[in-house]
């Protein structure tokens, strides 16, 4: 027990340290947490032992602590999706539907489409292609929103299409995760797959109904004066339903998303957000650490080409779909360029899809174990590149805006 | 005046107010309670951050801007100093104050305390330089002039 506690202490201390480093470098914390996980994981530091106080200890996270980290990471996914649901507002989406719908569909068609083609060419099979498409399509709400605030773009017009498109992506990923988790855990048989997807969509509909009609019950459940009870009730409800969903073979992340949506229509949404944000942040950090930990860096050289190719293809597609989305919102060239730059960053959702795939390795899913590990290493490498690239592009947007301005000046009629 | 309001999912709300000359004031209210004030010099420009406030500071500054800010003193004494030592203070007579029911002459305020009752506010009316037969009542607000020592003895003997 002592050894495991010490290892967890090392993990949290390292997370705190690299978080501070990321902040000092004006970068997102996510790639730093992942790298910390890779370095302390079984493939790197796990091989090394040290003699401390006469006891032989693993420098990295050993098997005992790893099971906690894996569960903690799972909680991270649940809380990330719970918050997504909490901040998701269906009425708002429907009210400003036309522009969000148009910009979001352009984003989906270009990036998901590019991912499907890329995945098919690389893996030659529909399911990995679908996985790659999801991984390269979904931008990172967490990193992008933080950058928008840090750079002050949040008060400018470019934030509307960026946040609007992210909301569209959030809704899409809820359905996507439900379908893909059913597919990867299934038997591979087409009829069985259709059945699994049918079950997943039915559960989705039930959850949506619970979220919609359960508001009064949630309202009563959360009407307590003590912060402690609010935290425990929300956590109990969310984790219980997420766990039950997973036991039924439905994505736990999607269940958490709908619990979040249900809570968001109660009066307690602000309290819940304030109280659970620190809980989410801790477990999200553990999730990023965990995904790094289960990634074999030995696979990086093999996937480097894939990552480079994906970055080369899906950076321009996001730039283009973002620029076009900005035009749907009637923005000028400069601001539309920013929308494109803002959407480049990929992060937590790409990794959640990776977690879904790597989770099937032991259980014998449809995707071969080797392919699953490659997909996971690809996702991790891709996020490391795209999160740093996206954040950096936003910081140096001025130069890109000038380039686009010059280019458009030369190519526009009479320019 | 036109105020536009935009929801920012995961962040909070943004309010924009046209403040004339093509300038726009932008207020960003975070879900955490933090407020940020930006000014956009012209419609095409990027907004520049002016102030970043926590919830409490934002409320105080907001009420000052609104003209509604009034910070009552902790005690029910309000004092103003004239010169080095002479102070003006307001006192309210409650029903068991020794002065209640006495005339100014009977009370002999100046002889006993050194302080001078300069004026009395009663039911919204101000009685300036009250005459010797002026009679104190419960609820009278007295404006009293004197040194700190005078005020201390007034407080002890008359209220």
User: Does residue B152 share a domain with residue B85?
Assistant: yes
Q: In this complex, do B9 and A167 lie within 8 Å of one another by their Cβ atoms?
A: yes
Count Cα atoms within 13 angstroms, Cβ side, for A179.
11
Beta bridge pairs of residue B7: B13
Residues 74-93 on A with a CB inside 8 Å of B are: 83, 87-89, 92
Size of interface A-B (CB pairs under 8 A): 46
* CATH code where residue B143 lies: 3.30.70.1450
> Is B135 within the bounds of a domain?
yes
Specify whether the CB–CB gap between A142 and A386 falls below 8 A. no
Q: Which residues pair with B12 in a beta bridge?
A: B8, B30
CB spacing of A274 vs B31 below 8 angstroms: yes
Q: How would you class B72 by CB atoms within 10 Å of its CB: exposed for 0-12, middle for 13-18, buried for 19 or more?
A: exposed
Residues B126 and B89 in one domain: yes
Q: Which domain-ending residue is among B66, B94, B117?
A: B66
State how far the Cα of A63 lies from the Cα of A294, in Å rounded to an integer. 12
Tokens of A15: 């997370």
Cα distance between residue A281 and residue A30, in whole Å: 11
Q: CB neighbours (10 Å) of residue A16?
A: 11
Based on the domain organization, do B35 and B90 belong to the same domain? no
Q: Are residues B85 and B145 in the same domain?
A: yes
Task: Tell me, yes or no, whether B62 and B84 share the same domain.
Answer: no
Q: How close, in Å, is residue A394 to chain B by CA atoms?
A: 14
Residue B96 has pLDDT above 90, yes or no: no
pLDDT of the residue at A58: 62
Count of structural domains, chain B: 2
Residue of B nearest to A86 (CA): B10
Among B37, B66, B95, the domain boundary falls at: B66
Which residue has tokens 């907001």? B62
> Quick one: three-class SS letters along chain A?
CHHHHHHHHHHHHHHHHHHHHHHHCCCCHHHHHHHHHHHHCCCCHHHCEEEECCEEEECCCCHHHHHHHHHHHHHHHHHHHHHHHHCCCHHHHHHCHHHHHHHHHHHHHHHHHHHHHHHHHHHCCHHHHHHHHHHHHCCCHHHHHHHHHHHCHHHCCCHHHHHHHHHHHHHHHHHHHHHHHHHHHCCCCHHHHHHHHHHHHHHHHHHHHHHHHCHHHHHHHCCCCCHHHHHHHHHHHHHHHHHHHHHCCCCHHHHHHHHHHHHHCCCCHHHHHHHHHHHHHHHHHHHHHHHHHCCCHHHHHHHHHHHHHHHHHHHHHHHHHHHHHHHHCCCCHHHHHHHHHHHCCCCHHHHHHHHHHHCCCCCCCCCCHHHHHHHHHHHHHHHHHHHHHHHHHHHCHHHHHHHHHHHHHHHCCCC
CA distance B150 to B158: 11
- Report the alpha-carbon distance of residue A247 to residue A210 in Å, rounded: 18
**Closest listed residue to residue A36, CA positions, set A13, A70, A58:** A13
Residue B8 lies in a domain: yes
- The answer to the question of residue B120 being in a domain is yes
Residue B26 sits at the chain A interface (C-beta within 8 Å): yes
CA separation for the pair A276, B36 (Å, rounded)? 23
The overall longest dimension of chain A from CA atoms, in Å, is 80
Considering only CA atoms, which of A46, A170, A45, A37 is closest in space to residue A104? A170
Phi-psi region of A36 (alpha: psi -120 to 50; beta: other; left: phi over 0): alpha
CB of A104 closer than 8 Å to CB of A96: no
Q: What residues contact B105, with CB distance under 8 A and at least 6 apart?
A: B132, B133
DSSP state of B115: -
Across-strand partners of B51?
A: B37
In chain B, whose CA is at the least distance from the CA of A92?
A: B7
* pLDDT at residue A97, rounded to an integer: 76
Residue pair B39/B45 in contact by the 8 Å Cβ criterion: no
Chain B, 43 to 72: residues with Cβ < 8 Å from chain A are: 44, 46-49
Interface test with A, best of B4, B9, B11, B40 (most A CBs within 10 A): B9
Q: Which domain holds residue B22?
A: 3-66
Q: With contacts defined as CB-CB under 8 Å, which chain A residues touch B48?
A: 152
Q: Looking at the domain assignment, is residue B109 inside a domain?
A: yes
Asked if the C-beta of A272 comes within 8 angstroms of chain B's C-beta atoms, the answer is no
From B68's Cα to the closest Cα of chain A, the distance in A is: 27
Shortest Cα distance, chain B CAs vs residue A92, angstroms: 8
Structure tokens at B131: 């005459």
> What are the mean pLDDT values of chain A's consecutive 10-residue runs (415 residues total)?
83 94 90 92 74 63 83 93 83 77 94 95 91 95 88 89 90 88 76 80 83 84 87 93 86 88 86 90 94 89 93 95 94 93 93 88 76 92 94 90 82 56
Query: How close is the nearest chain B Cα to the Cα of A116, in Å?
Result: 29
**B45 & B84 share domain:** no
Mark yes or no for CB contact B9/A87 under 8 Å.
Answer: yes
Question: Do residues A379 and A350 touch, judged by C-beta distance below 8 A?
Answer: yes
Q: Does B31 touch chain A (CB under 8 A)?
A: yes
Residue B72 lies in a domain: no
List all residues of chain A from 165 to 184 with a beta carbon under 8 Å from chain B.
166-167
pTM: 0.76
> Are the C-beta atoms of A378 and A306 separated by less than 8 Å?
yes
Go through the domains of chain A in sequence order and give each one's CATH number: 67-363+372-405 (1.20.1530.20)
Length of chain A in terms of residues written: 415
CA angle B133-B139-B140, nearest 5°?
A: 40
The values of phi and psi at residue B80, to 5°, are -130, 135
B102 in the same domain as B55? no
Q: What per-residue confidence (pLDDT) applies to A93?
A: 72
* Residue B109: how many other CB atoms lie within 10 Å: 24
Residues B133, B99 share a domain: yes
Chain B contacts of A331, Cβ < 8 Å? none
Q: Is residue B73 part of a domain?
A: no
Task: For residue A136, report the phi and psi dihedrals to the nearest 5 degrees.
Answer: -90, -15
Instruction: Read off the DSSP letter of residue B114.
Output: S
Within a domain: B20: yes
pLDDT of residue A54: 60
A273 closest CB neighbour out of B26, B31, B44: B31
Pairing relationship of beta strands A55-58 and A49-52 according to DSSP bridges: antiparallel
Contact A89, B9 (CB under 8 A): yes
Query: Closest by alpha carbon to A79, among A287, A249, A289?
Result: A287
Name the residue of chain A whose CA is nearest to B14's CA. A155
ipTM of predicted assembly, 2 dp: 0.70
By C-alpha distance, the chain B residue nearest A170 is B9
Between residues B32 and A236, which one has the greater pLDDT? Answer: A236
User: Using the beta-carbon criterion (under 8 Å), do A166 and B9 form an inter-chain contact?
Assistant: yes
- Closest-CA residue of A relative to B25 is A155
Contacts A154 to B, Cβ<8 Å: 8, 11, 14, 28
For the stretch B56-83, pLDDT in tens is 899 888 888 877 665 544 444 455 666 6
- % pLDDT > 90, chain B: 14
Task: Answer whether A265 touches B (CB < 8 Å).
Answer: no
Distance from CA of A180 to the nearest CA of B (A): 26
If DSSP codes are grouped into helix, strand and coil, which group holds residue B97?
A: coil
Strands (E), B9-72: 12-18, 24-30, 35-40, 48-53
Give the gap in angstroms from C-alpha A60 to the nearest C-alpha of chain B. Answer: 35
Question: Is residue A160 within 8 Å of A364, Cβ to Cβ?
Answer: no
Let me know: does B155 contact B142? Beta carbons within 8 Å. Answer: no
CA-based nearest residue in chain A for residue B7? A92
Check CB contact under 8 Å for B46 and A270: no
Distance CA A214, CA A222 (A): 12
- Same domain for B8 and B29: yes
Q: Based on the domain organization, do B33 and B95 belong to the same domain?
A: no
Q: Which two tokens stand for residue A115?
A: 């991912």
One domain, residues B58 and B111: no
Residues B13 and B49 in one domain: yes
Among candidate residues B19, B45, B66, the one where a domain is terminated? B66
Task: Identify whether B71 is part of a domain.
Answer: no
């Amino acid at each position: 027990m002592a050894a495991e506690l010490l290892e967890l202490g090392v993990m949290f201390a390292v997370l705190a340290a690299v978080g501070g480093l990321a902040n000092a470098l004006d970068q997102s914390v996510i790639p730093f947490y992942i790298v910390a996980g890779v370095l302390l994981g079984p493939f790197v530091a796990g091989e090394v032992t040290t003699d401390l106080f006469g006891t032989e200890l693993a420098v990295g996270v050993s098997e005992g602590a790893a099971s906690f980290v894996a569960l903690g990471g799972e909680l991270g996914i649940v809380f990330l999706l719970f918050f997504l649901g909490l901040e998701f507002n269906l009425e708002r989406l429907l009210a400003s539907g036309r522009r969000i719908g148009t910009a979001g569909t352009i984003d989906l068609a270009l990036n998901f489409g590019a991912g499907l083609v890329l995945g098919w060419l690389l893996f030659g099979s529909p399911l990995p292609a679908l996985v790659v498409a999801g991984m390269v399509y979904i931008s990172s709400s967490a990193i992008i929103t933080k950058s928008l605030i840090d750079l002050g773009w949040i008060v400018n017009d470019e934030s509307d299409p960026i946040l609007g498109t992210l909301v569209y992506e959030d809704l899409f990923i809820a359905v996507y995760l439900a379908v893909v988790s059913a597919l990867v855990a299934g038997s591979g048989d087409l009829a069985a797959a259709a059945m699994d997807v049918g079950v997943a969509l039915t559960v989705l509909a039930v959850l949506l109904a619970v979220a919609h009609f359960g508001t009064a019950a949630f309202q009563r459940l959360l009407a307590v004066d003590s912060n402690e009870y609010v935290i425990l009730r929300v956590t109990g409800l969310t984790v219980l339903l997420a766990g039950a969903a997973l036991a039924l073979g439905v994505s736990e992340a999607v269940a958490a998303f709908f619990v979040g949506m249900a809570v968001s229509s109660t009066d307690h949404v602000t309290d819940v957000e304030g109280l659970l944000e620190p809980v989410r942040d801790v477990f999200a950090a553990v999730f990023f650490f965990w995904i790094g930990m289960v990634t074999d860096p030995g696979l990086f050289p093999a996937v480097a080409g894939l990552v480079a190719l994906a970055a080369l293809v899906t950076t321009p597609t996001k730039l283009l779909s973002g620029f076009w989305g900005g035009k749907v919102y009637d923005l000028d060239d400069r601001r539309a360029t920013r929308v494109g730059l803002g959407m480049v960053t990929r992060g937590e959702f790409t990794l959640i899809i990776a977690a879904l795939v790597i989770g099937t390795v032991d259980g014998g899913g449809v995707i071969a174990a080797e392919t699953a590990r490659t997909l996971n290493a690809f996702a991790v490498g891709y996020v490391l590149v795209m999160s740093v690239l996206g954040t950096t592009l936003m910081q140096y947007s001025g130069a890109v805006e000038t380039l686009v301005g010059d280019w458009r000046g030369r190519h526009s009629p009479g320019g | 005046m036109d105020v536009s309001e935009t929801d920012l999912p995961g962040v909070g709300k943004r309010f924009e107010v046209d403040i004339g000359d093509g300038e726009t004031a932008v207020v960003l209210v975070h879900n955490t309670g933090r407020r940020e004030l930006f000014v956009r010099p012209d419609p095409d420009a990027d907004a520049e951050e002016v102030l970043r406030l926590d919830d409490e500071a934002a409320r105080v500054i907001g009420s000052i801007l609104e003209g509604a800010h009034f910070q009552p003193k902790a005690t029910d004494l309000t004092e103003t100093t004239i010169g080095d030592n002479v102070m003006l203070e307001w006192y309210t007579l409650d029903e068991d104050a020794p002065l209640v029911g006495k005339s100014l002459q009977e009370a002999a305020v100046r002889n006993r305390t050194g302080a001078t009752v300069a004026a009395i506010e009663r039911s919204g009316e101000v009685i300036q330089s009250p005459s010797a037969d002026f009679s104190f009542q419960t609820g009278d607000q007295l404006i009293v002039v004197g040194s700190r020592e005078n005020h201390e003895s007034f407080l002890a003997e008359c209220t």
